Structure 1
Amino acid sequence: VVECLCRGDIMRLASLLPHASDVINAPLTPYYSKDLRTPLHLAAAFPSLSCTQLLLWYSANVKVCDAEGQSCLCYARLSGDKDVIDLLLQAGCPESSPVTHTQAVPHSGVLNSSPEQPTSPTHSE
């Protein structure tokens, strides 16, 4: 399935999907647990409207997020394909922003090691 998506081979994908229900919503790399992208993420990223539609017809889950909290819609938006974006929205893909994992910003002064350093902004003239 992944090879078909990468090549855009819609005919082969159409012949495989009826027999591939176990991989439609499975992570692309099941043995690397940090990569939770599914075939639908891949189809949205390329983007391929026909592959995305086929996956949806075969019950691809539009609500699955990758390890970074990004939905298929995020991938479609990055690719810039309005048709794929519209299709995913119509299929119920969440519009919400992806969850981002950022490093916590320390409070002012927490990292200051010497007492003479200011802990609040100063105004210069």
Structure 2
Amino acid sequence: MDFKFEKLTIWQKSMDFGESINTVAYKFPREEIFNLSSQIRRAVDSIALNISEGSIGQTNLEFKKFMGYSIRSLAEVVTCLHKAKRREYISEEEFLKHYEFAFNLMNMMVAFKDKIQ
């Protein structure tokens, strides 16, 4: 691994989360392809993308800003998961599995952001 963001646990976990959510989104009904399915996939990808983009910024303040974007994207994914559960696209069990992962990742990301000086 040559880029510093590749060593970050939050980046690695966000990459894993992205693949898991992507698989879930493809189970949504066809009529959601340009709506909820697209939205959740873009939001989940944005988590890792913002971590990597911020990590190569000029300043720590810039990195904190991008971590904020990443955290917001994670919150968006959680909201999409709630929508998917309410519309019965995913089971309660599947929702809880992804919700718990998101909750733990959010805590890690917030702690990481708070440590950036």
TM-score bin (small chain): under 0.3
TM-score by length of 1: 0.23
| Higher-RCO chain (CA-CA 8 Å, sequence separation at least 6) | 2
Between Structure 1 and Structure 2, which shows a larger proportion of helix residues?
A: 2
